[in-house]
Structure 1
């Protein structure tokens, strides 16, 4: 199907890539300038900034409490941004929506970014906050049962890597994982996945930009052959928590996300893959104001709360939505 007309309007305004070197500071400033003012954000019962004390040091977090309750499921969220962009602010609206729809207490992680912080600093921060959340369960009001991790794009990469680390460490508290259009294979050979060719140009994220955008992370010591860098390369996926993988039809990264879901199911993991037609990479962050794309948030909430069925995506789970 063709790209959604509202997305097409925005894409038409974007300047063509000119090959200039990427400037992280300027790009971060550009993102910050687009963040909605506080008074325009979705209200919740409470939103507070805190510092999580972890094995890798103190990590800034933002804690979203949807309503007043005795206990909550907890969702730890890792923002996207090719490992060098994104912040607590740029993804504040995503965290608020997830908290509202799921009823979970959401903890968004302000992990360290490349190139200033070398691999595995960001990954260690994300994993450390998950362990901190479990350890601080009483003060967070955690129900002791539901501890989920979620992330978009490079944040989805961290979700897969964190669940793998937790499994290998014998940390069994993670109950769910949600990956929004994840970047799971940092070997950017265009012949590896058909979507890298089918969606190479014209949909916002372009295949030719994948290597330069991820270069800050790779040049900081992240080896694409390492399963903690390219989680799809992990040989044994057994024992990982149930997964929901959201992909976008017009995304170069579509096929690696869907292949990961297939491999999880082959390993005996309860995993559902949901492709959103007419969507592009980043649609949860950029276009969730379009009703059919807000379905990804609602679908995530249903998954976290044990609901059946898909809200808005096309199930790719062997033809059956689970």
Structure 2
């Protein structure tokens, strides 16, 4: 199917990208300029900024509480942005929608970005905040049941890597991993996945842009052959948390996400793979105001609620 008409309309109105090397500072400023004023954001019971003291250092986090209940399950969220863009502000609307729809307390992570910070700084921050959340459950008001990790695009990379790293460390508290159009194979061989050619141009993210966009991360020491950098390269996926993998029909990264979901299922991991028709990359961040795509938050809530009923009861922080 073609792009959703509302997405096509927006893409047609975008100016041509500037020539020359990518400028992280200018691109970050442009993204921040698009953030909605605080008064126009989805209201929740409380939203507060704090700091998570971790072995990685003090990591900025934003905690979203959906209602006045004393305790909630937790969802730790990692924003996207090709490892060098994105912030607590640019993805605030996603965290708010997740809290509203799931009923979970959401902890959004302001992890360190490339190229200023070398690999694995960002991943270390994300993993450390998950451990911090579990260790400080009483302070956060965690009910001891759900502890989900979620991320979009490169944040989905981190969510998958955090789940794998936790498993390898014997930290078994993560109950779910939610990956929105994740970037799971940073070895950009266009012949590896059909979607890299089928969706190469005209749908927002273009295949030719993958290498320069991810160069800041790779040049900072991230090795595409490392399964913590390219989670699809992990040989043994058994024992990982149940997964929801969301892809866009017209995303160049579609097939690597779906392949990871297939492999998770084959390894005995309870996995749901959901392809959104007419969607390109980034639709949760940029186009969740479209009703068909806003459903991703309800789907996330259903996925988590179904798993929590079966396995979450009786857990304590």
TM-score (norm 1): 0.94
Match of 2:13, SS?
coil
**Cα distance in 1, alignment partners of residues 138 and 120 from structure 2:** 29
**Cα distance in 2, alignment partners of residues 263 and 297 from structure 1:** 24
Aligned to 2:174: 174
Aligned-pair CA distance for 1:144: 0.8
Q: For 1:196-215, what aligned pairs fall within 5 Å after superposition?
A: 196-215=196-215
Aligned to 2:151: 151
Aligned-pair CA distance for 1:267: 0.4
Aligned-pair CA distance for 1:19: 4.3
After TM superposition, the structure 1 stretch with the greater mean CA deviation from structure 2, 227-236 or 15-24, is 15-24
**Cα distance in 2, alignment partners of residues 103 and 71 from structure 1:** 10
Higher RCO (CA-CA < 8 Å; seq separation 6+): 2
Match of 2:246, SS?
strand
**Cα distance in 1, alignment partners of residues 14 and 33 from structure 2:** 16
Aligned to 1:268: 268
Match of 1:279, SS?
coil
Per-residue Cα deviation, 1:153-187 (whole angstroms, up to 9, x for no partner): 00000001000100000000000010000000000
Q: For 1:69-218, what aligned pairs fall within 5 Å after superposition?
A: 69-218=69-218
What's the Cα RMSD here?
A: 1.0
Unaligned stretches of 5+ residues in structure 1: 309-322
**Cα distance in 2, alignment partners of residues 170 and 271 from structure 1:** 21
Aligned-pair CA distance for 1:17: 4.2
Are the structure 2 counterparts of residues 259 and 17 from structure 1 closer, same or farther at C-alpha, using a change threshold of 3 Å? same
Per-residue Cα deviation, 1:103-143 (whole angstroms, up to 9, x for no partner): 00000000000000000000000000000000000011111
Aligned to 1:296: 296
Unaligned stretches of 5+ residues in structure 2: 309-317
Aligned-pair CA distance for 1:196: 0.3
**Cα distance in 2, alignment partners of residues 289 and 138 from structure 1:** 34
Aligned to 2:224: 224
Aligned-pair CA distance for 1:15: 2.9
Aligned to 1:52: 52
Match of 1:85, SS?
coil
TM-score (norm 2): 0.96
Aligned-pair CA distance for 1:18: 5.2
**Cα distance in 2, alignment partners of residues 13 and 235 from structure 1:** 43
Report the number of matched residues.
308
